[in-house]
Amino acid sequence: MNKERVEYLVKELLQELGEDVNREGLVDTPKRVAKAMEFLTSGYKKTPKEVINGAIFEAGQDNMVIVRDIEVYSLCEHHMMPFFGRCHIGYISRGKVLGVSKLARIVDCFARRLQIQERLTCEIAQAIKSEIGAEGVGVVMECRHLCMMMRGVEKQNSIMTTSSVLGSFRSNPSTRAEFMSLVQR
């Protein structure tokens, strides 16, 4: 990202909004926005393999692994407004497990891009399945969208829920039901 160009564009936007870009509160705003956007879109510079960084471990078990309530913060690609919430991930390994913090890093890898929640949910599930060859993967995401809360229909209490189930989580109803019941606790 060309930070200087982004700063220039933010300054132009502020002027178009009728703001005085030289007033005290706005003088450094273009720099702050450029820095924030660099962080909030840092996922474009990462891949799941890089964020996992070799933290895949042999495990003799093939039981379900679940991590609940991973915080998610992203930007909606339609309005560039935040959406935020929780992500729940479950998988059944085929002898390989991820370091637990790597699941949160995979979430961030994809969330720190301009996104829609539906695609974000699928990308997380597909990355986990492909990186460890999991027998099955389930991802459920529950988010609030500021583009729906602050503008448009202005519905403050709406929560969007999406899920992606792959492998045995898709083909085996009892596996899917077990996962869903465990993440709803």
Q: How many CB atoms lie within 10 A of CB 157?
A: 6
Sequence-separated (6 or more) residues with CB below 8 Å from residue 25: none
What residue type is 97 in one-letter code?
Answer: V
Give the distance from CA 82 to its chain's centroid. Answer: 11
Structure tokens that stand for 94 in this block? 């085929």
Strand, helix or coil at 115?
Answer: strand
In which element (H, E) is residue 72 found? strand 64-76
Give the residue from 158, 166, 77, 157 showing the smallest Cα distance to 121.
Answer: 166
User: Which residues does the annotation mark as catalytic?
Assistant: 76-79, 117, 145, 147
